[in-house]
Amino acid sequence: MYKFGKEDNYPHDRYLTFTEAASLLGSGKHTRIHKLVIKGDLPTYSIPLTKKLRVKKSELLALFAI
């Protein structure tokens, strides 16, 4: 079974909510991701039939070189 957050072990790219992205970075605050988006450092994506914007896992990891 795949894990999420700091222990995310899904081997492929996926779209994360701001909360999931913050958890992956070790911070529980989605505002950290929101600030990166506002500054233009991290692009967002809209998924059909969902209201929340998402960020790509690969782009988040590349930004922090994790």
Helix (H, G, I), strand (E, B) or coil at 22: helix
Domain tally, the chain: 1
Please give the structure tokens belonging to residue 60: 């988040």
H, E, C per residue of 5-27: HHHCCCCCCCEECHHHHHHHCCC
**CA–CA dist 24, 22 (Å, integer):** 5
Question: Is the pLDDT confidence value at 1 over 70?
Answer: no
- Model-wide pTM > 0.85: no
Cα 63 → chain centroid: 11
Question: Six-digit token pair at 55?
Answer: 């960020």
Report pLDDT digits (tens) over 19-47. Answer: 989 988 887 788 999 999 999 999 999 99
Domain containing 17 equals 5-64
Distance, CA of 37 to CA of 46 (rounded, Å) = 13
